[in-house]
A = this chain, B = another copy of it.
């Protein structure tokens, strides 16, 4: 096989997701992923450091999108609204790959190590968002609070997006931030 393989990355991701779903993440080897994709292990390692990275490589890109969204928000935007806009932008991007997100979530839910890794990714989002808010001049604690609350909303909206038929993920993000606002204003007494 030649050095260049058309859409090698996409084929590897597809093969890995299939195998993780069929036989479990633990039981799948890099050799099997490469074989299923019709590629060599060497090609796999040109694209990914290990089999876990197939599930997490998009996180860095998403984090950059979150940070740049906060940085680009108009000066008059309240911190919580800058964070909401950032997650709306992230949701618009994730929405293009709903089936991939759904498969990925099922694989992660089935493995303790992957769940931990996912929590660390979200922690990293919160930390990066808080830093981005501080760069806008938001006070230290307010920045951390807005960022962490934003991640909390995102986590819940993400689960709802995959669990329900609602296809408009950015809309779900907006609704969930509105719900947080209502809750902190004292709503929800039964």
Q: Using a CB-CB cutoff of 8 Å, which residues 9-51 of chain A contact chain B?
A: none
CA distance A188 to B139 in the complex (A): 8
CA distance A146 to B152 in the complex (A): 9
Whether B119 and A141, one on each chain, are in contact in the complex, defined by CB atoms closer than 8 angstroms, is no
**Most B CB within 10 A of own CB, among A123, A137, A145:** A145
**Most B CB within 10 A of own CB, among A136, A139, A189:** A189
Q: Chain B contacts of A153 at CB under 8 A? A: 145, 148-149
CA distance A148 to B119 in the complex (A): 13
- Choice from B79, B137, B151, B176 contacting A183 with Cβ under 8 Å: B79
Q: A149-B180, A149-B184 are in contact. Are A190 and B136 (CB under 8 A)?
A: yes
A91 on the interface (CB 8 Å rule)?
Answer: no
Chain B: CB-nearest residue to A177? B184
| Size of A's binding interface in residues, CB under 8 A | 42
CA distance A120 to B117 in the complex (A): 10
A92 on the interface (CB 8 Å rule)?
Answer: no
Q: Using a CB-CB cutoff of 8 Å, which residues 37-87 of chain A contact chain B?
A: 75-81
Task: Write out, one digit per residue, whether chain A residues 130-162 have a CB within 8 A of any chain B CB (1) or not (0).
Answer: 000000111101101110110111011001100
Interface residues of A (CB under 8 A from B): 75-81, 115-116, 119-120, 123, 136-139, 141-142, 144-146, 148-149, 151-153, 155-156, 159-160, 176, 179-181, 183-190
